[in-house]
Amino acid sequence: MPTLAQETPYGATSPLNICCRTGSSLLVAQDTAPGLMRVARLVAAHGDLPRSWRRYGVRARSTTGALRRPQDAATDQDVMLVADGAQSVGRWRLWGQATFGRQREDDVRWRNQSAPSLRSGYVWADSVGGTFRSDRLGLAAALVSPSWRGITVALPVDYGLGQGARREDPRPLYRRRVAELSPSLRWQSGAHQLGAGAIVGWHREDLEIGGGTTTEVPVVFRLRGIATFDRTQLISAERALLGGVVGVQGGYAWRSLKWFVATGATLRLEQDSVRDGIAAPVNGGQTRRVRGDWRLAVRRQSAERGVELDVLAQQETSRGRDPVFAAVNATDEGQRLQVTTQWWQGGVRPLASWMLSVHGAWHTLERRDVAAETRWRVTRLPITMSGGHRWRQADQAWLLEVGVSNDAVSRADREAFRGTRLTPILTDADYAVAAAPAVGGHLMLAWDRVRNGALASRLSLSGAARHTRGMLFDGRRALAAQALTLMVEFY
Amino acid sequence: MFASSFLRSRIVTRSRPIVATAILGLSAACGDNAVEVQTFVIDVQVTLPTTFAQPAASGARVLLTSTERNVTDTAVADAQGLARFPRVLPGSYIIASSLVLDADRALALTGQRTALTLNALDPARVITTAPTTPFVQRLSGSRLGDLVIKEVYYPASRTPSGGVYFSDQFVEIYNNATDTVFVDGLLIADAFGPAGQINPTTVPTPLQAQAGSVFVTSIWQIPGTGRQRPIAPGQSIVIAQDGIDHRGDANGNPASPVNLATADWETFNERPDGRDLDSPTVPNLTRIVHRGGFDWLLAVFGPGVVIFRTPNVAALDSTLVPGTTGTWVTRVPNEIVVDAFEALQNGNSASYKRVPAALDAGFVFASGTYTSESARRRVSTTIGTRRVLRDSNNSSADFEIIARPTPRGFGTP
């Protein structure tokens, strides 16, 4: 899928940097953060949790443009506050993070629930659309035990909750909660680290419509695939989406003075079950996803320069069991292989004077709707090149980063032998965006303050744009999307 | 893979702990996710009433309508009365069959030279696996009516400010015969029951099982001594809820699509509070029984409407709706019904049908409420200047939803 997410030397995610599921992954990452343990679930790296570290930040982001999927907002404005830090308590180490986000999505159509619910395949929708306003809160923590004969135990926990609503009838409202535990065990012998862990998660989204006015009896579509649906007029209704995840992960890391090698694999098995009604629940469909990924990250660095290679291979299969057909109707299958190389000189990341990054990927996605005899498949080959320079002036620095991207489409085909009314609206529209080759670019300007050789604060403004010359389903050409992000962080 | 297979709960209760919920959710998927949607061959055996000379309803038209997708496939029964649908998706279907017998064929089958329309309806057939035997549809029917319901404008309209307005509803009755018909004493009524799953707790009328009658809420009658109210062939009468120019009257709605100041009749519900408008230009129907609000409001979600004749309307039974303590309805036997119409909330609402299949084997539905749409009977043929309207006692086939009502007209709205 086309995205405005950036892979840049200064501002991007690295498998060796912090990330968490509750939403702060887009904030500037730090090498000092507890990275390996959580990113890509490279569980062999408990020991990388810093003894003392903290960060506060705020990010404001606005995304707009006609180059968007049919269930995306025309304008997406998001503000997020984040605070996180690590602390040693005796021989134990603790990391925690709290985030709060507020979002406004304008002109959201064909989706009456939160965007993550789209992964379930069973979605309430209407053609009217409107503006969603939502809040979300994320809490994450990780506790790492003291080492005993080289063995440490870690318990990372993620918890997130959010609520969003739309004023336009049928006034959809959702409340979403997510919780995930990923306990892991690490054994260290010299420079070698070996880890294994498990993932157990749960999520639930409660949906309501109605209760608004008596003048509207809106038509609500129940999407059951990329083209299959049924619809009805409803004054009020409730739906619950319940899901769980289990998984296993394993990893290995090796560290020397200059080298750091980590590899890990994760297998996740997820399922969402939808039920309509509360008093007398009715099966609304199930979606089962299996995702496996393998990651290898290699870094060689010194005080003055460094280079990093990050390879990710991912396979994901999703199958939706339809409540009416009592069989699998909606399937997605995707593969991704991506390679990112980064090079920096003149200091350690992210304080280096020069940075260069090349990100290339191959990914393919096939979506099917069996009943509608509809299928589309797209293979894309995006490549992004970025470069940046940082000017130091005593205890402050200016940073400029520029990147260009070319998102080519090597294969795209579609068939719809038993189309429905929603085939042109959803299936074809989504396919057209997915199959649209695009070019893009990004620019980031940042101002850093450095204290005692470490980053003390960063103020950054970045923009990104994508443009396609392809033709969308409705005949529109030359569409674009833009994102603008303002961010402040204190360490 | 990680989950045990001994628990297969598809609906997870809200009180289960997090871990158990996750494991249960995953276990539900195991084993069931290999089978993709497959199509079936469906055979429908259509038979004539047992009193007919032969059992096979050759030539019967069978409609298979998906209630989820609102897609209809059609097949015609062969000489053995068998209709085949070769590529049917699993799901919930309405199976409706109809057969029009002209006078000659009716004579051969029944001994009476009277044209007949026969119908059968299975309003909710869930098909999840390939059936091993044909579905059986036994036809029943009634004589073709001379008077037919030509148009029912029930969804009503919106005001310019977005409010709702339902006083502009009307029903139009048309003389589909070749001779003048007198409508003196003709009765019109609305069928009892909800039009669909309007609320989560809404259930179909419990009176569905009594298929020999239609149960009505209110009854109105055209006054007359017997030969005072003629309708010429191809002409019609309009019965308004309120007989005013809804677009121009101060009590109306400027956004209403109709002027009913020239309607033939209106349903004036005289009450002490005078809340119902009594148009000075339009005569009133006789109120036989009214069990509703301040006016005769047809359900905007979709009404069932019947016209019927009986020499003694007071003799019709009233009955208490099962499961209620004070909801009364009147039983109208199928035999006295001249014509029927049914609209429901949407394509999934077949199980909410209120009019028996012998009177009306189908239903129509508008795109929503207060849309200014209207349900109008299709024209079968035109003889000279007289339109002969389609009348197969099946609203699905006989009616279409049009964007704007056309009282006394057939033009493009």
- Give the confidence band of A307 by pLDDT, cuts at 50, 70, 90: very high
Q: Looking at the structure, tell me whether residues B137 and B196 fall in a common domain.
A: no
Beta-sheet pairing, B40-47 with B135-138: parallel
The mean per-residue pLDDT over the stretch A158-187 comes to 89
- Give the confidence band of B413 by pLDDT, cuts at 50, 70, 90: low
pLDDT higher than 80, residue B377: yes
Q: Looking at the structure, tell me whether residues B134 and B182 fall in a common domain.
A: no
What are the pLDDT digits (tens) for B218-236?
999 999 988 899 999 899 9
Contact A396/A456 with Cβ under 8 angstroms?
Answer: no
Q: Looking at the structure, tell me whether residues B346 and B389 fall in a common domain.
A: yes
Cβ contacts from A onto B, under 8 A: 147
> HEC profile for A69-136?
CCCCCCEEEEEEEEEEEEEEECCEEEEEEEEEEEEEEEEECCCCCCHHHHHHCCEEECCCCEEEEEEE
Beta-sheet pairing, A151-166 with A374-393: unpaired
The mean per-residue pLDDT over the stretch A63-75 comes to 89
Contact B151/B376 with Cβ under 8 angstroms?
Answer: yes
The residue among B141, B161, B188 that closes a domain is B141
The mean per-residue pLDDT over the stretch A478-490 comes to 88
pLDDT higher than 90, residue A75: yes
Residue B334 main-chain phi, psi, to 5 deg: -55, -30
Q: What is the pLDDT of residue A136?
A: 94
Is B23 in CB contact (< 8 Å) with chain A?
A: yes
| Whole-number Å distance between alpha carbons of A249 and A266 | 4
State whether B91 and A201 contact (CB < 8 Å): no
Q: Looking at the structure, tell me whether residues B319 and B373 fall in a common domain.
A: yes
Give me the residue from A215, A228, A246 closest to B3, CB to CB.
Answer: A246
Residue at A357: amino acid letter: S
pLDDT higher than 90, residue A14: no
Contacts of B367 in chain A (CB under 8 A): 219
Q: How distant is the Cα of B199 from the closest Cα of chain A, in angstroms?
A: 6
Number of domains in chain B: 2
- Give the confidence band of B100 by pLDDT, cuts at 50, 70, 90: confident
Q: Looking at the structure, tell me whether residues B300 and B389 fall in a common domain.
A: yes
Q: What is the pLDDT of residue B197?
A: 82
| Whole-number Å distance between alpha carbons of A69 and A59 | 24
Which of B8, B16, B18, B166 is the mutation pick for testing A, counting most A CBs within 10 A?
B18
CATH number of domain containing B55: 2.60.40.10
Residue B6 lies in a domain: no
Q: How distant is the Cα of B16 from the closest Cα of chain A, in angstroms?
A: 11
The mean per-residue pLDDT over the stretch B394-404 comes to 91
What are the pLDDT digits (tens) for B179-203?
788 999 999 999 999 998 877 778 8
Least confident range of A173-187, A414-428, B20-34, B84-98: B20-34
| Whole-number Å distance between alpha carbons of B82 and B210 | 28
Helix residue spans in A379-444 (DSSP H): 428-434
Instruction: Pick the closest to residue B138 from B112, B117, B118, B109 (CA basis).
Output: B118
Average per-residue pLDDT for chain B: 85
- Give the confidence band of B254 by pLDDT, cuts at 50, 70, 90: very high
Q: What is the pLDDT of residue A278?
A: 64
- Identify the domain containing residue B83 by its residue range: 26-141
Q: Looking at the structure, tell me whether residues B129 and B214 fall in a common domain.
A: no
Q: Looking at the structure, tell me whether residues B118 and B189 fall in a common domain.
A: no
Q: What is the pLDDT of residue B397?
A: 85
Q: Looking at the structure, tell me whether residues B208 and B130 fall in a common domain.
A: no
- Give the confidence band of A80 by pLDDT, cuts at 50, 70, 90: very high
ipTM above 0.90, yes or no: no
Contacts of B155 in chain A (CB under 8 A): none
pLDDT higher than 50, residue A398: yes
Provide the terminal-to-terminal Cα distance of chain B, rounded to the nearest Å: 60
Residue B319 lies in a domain: yes
State whether B164 and A215 contact (CB < 8 Å): yes
Residue B353 lies in a domain: yes
Contacts of A214 in chain B (CB under 8 A): 164
Q: Looking at the structure, tell me whether residues B254 and B337 fall in a common domain.
A: yes
* Helices and strands (H, E) in chain B, number of each type: 3, 27
Read off the DSSP letter of residue A427.
Answer: I
Beta bridge partners of A61: A78, A485
State whether A327 and B90 contact (CB < 8 Å): yes
| Whole-number Å distance between alpha carbons of A174 and A125 | 13
Residue found by looking up tokens 């050789």 in the block: A453
pTM: 0.68
Residue B11 lies in a domain: no
pLDDT higher than 90, residue B336: no
Contact A90/A147 with Cβ under 8 angstroms?
Answer: no
The residue among B120, B141, B162 that closes a domain is B141
Q: Looking at the structure, tell me whether residues B38 and B132 fall in a common domain.
A: yes
Residue B8 lies in a domain: no
State whether A288 and B3 contact (CB < 8 Å): no
Check residues A233 and A101 and name the one with the higher pLDDT: A101
Q: What is the pLDDT of residue A212?
A: 53
Q: Would you list the DSSP string of B12-79?
A: --TTS-HHHHHHHHHHHHTTTSSPBP--EEEEEEEE--TTSS-SB-TT-EEEEEETTT--EEEEE--T
Check residues A378 and B13 and name the one with the higher pLDDT: A378
State whether B367 and A327 contact (CB < 8 Å): no
Q: For chain A, what percent of residues have pLDDT higher than 90?
A: 41
Q: Looking at the structure, tell me whether residues B268 and B128 fall in a common domain.
A: no
Contacts of B89 in chain A (CB under 8 A): 325, 371
Residue B12 lies in a domain: no
Give me the residue from B22, B90, B158 closest to A326, CB to CB.
Answer: B90
- Give the confidence band of A13 by pLDDT, cuts at 50, 70, 90: very low
Check residues A349 and A291 and name the one with the higher pLDDT: A291
Residue B154 lies in a domain: yes
The mean per-residue pLDDT over the stretch A397-418 comes to 93
Least confident range of A103-112, A272-281, B91-100: A272-281
pLDDT higher than 60, residue A40: no
Q: Looking at the structure, tell me whether residues B253 and B179 fall in a common domain.
A: yes
Q: What is the pLDDT of residue B106?
A: 83
Residue B19 lies in a domain: no
Check residues B406 and A85 and name the one with the higher pLDDT: B406
Contact B381/B391 with Cβ under 8 angstroms?
Answer: no
E strands within B197-244?
213-221, 230-231, 236-240
Q: For chain B, what percent of residues have pLDDT higher than 90?
A: 47
What are the pLDDT digits (tens) for A205-242?
999 887 555 455 567 888 999 999 887 767 778 899 99
Contacts of A247 in chain B (CB under 8 A): 2
Q: What is the pLDDT of residue A49?
A: 59
Residue B29 main-chain phi, psi, to 5 deg: -80, -30
pLDDT higher than 50, residue A309: yes
- Whether the link from the prior residue into A170 is cis, omega within 30° of 0, is yes
The residue among B74, B107, B141 that closes a domain is B141
What are the pLDDT digits (tens) for B69-81?
778 899 999 999 9
